[in-house]
Amino acid sequence: MKQNIHPEYRSVIFQDLSSDFAILTKSTIKTKDTMLWTDGKEYPLVKIEISSASHPFYTGKQKIVDTAGRVDRFRRKYGMS
C-alpha cells in the first residue's frame, strides 16, 4: 500500500440534534467540534439532523422539518391546509 495517501480513520461521535441521540463510531470525516464521551475521553463531533432515533421509518412517527417556510409555501401553492 502507498504511504500517506489514506485519510485518518478515527473514532468520531455523531449526534442527532433533533433527538439528542449520539453514537460513537469510526469515520474519516473531518470536524472542528469535539465532545466528551461517557468513557471520559474527548472525540471529534459531527452534528446531524436525522438518525435512526428520529427517522420516520424507524420511529413510526411522521415529522415535518420546516426549513425557511418551504412546507408552508408548498401548502399555499397547492391549496393544502
Number of H helices, E strands in the chain: 2, 4
- Give CA–CA dist 58/60, Å, rounded: 6
58: number of CA atoms within 13 Å, CB side?
7
Q: How confident is the model at residue 34 (pLDDT cuts 50, 70, 90)?
A: very high
Work out the average pLDDT over 20-27.
91
pLDDT of 4-23, one tens digit each? 898 889 999 999 887 888 99
pLDDT at 67 > cutoff 80? no
Domain boundaries, the chain: 10-77
pLDDT at 7 (0 to 100): 87
* % of the chain at pLDDT higher than 70: 78
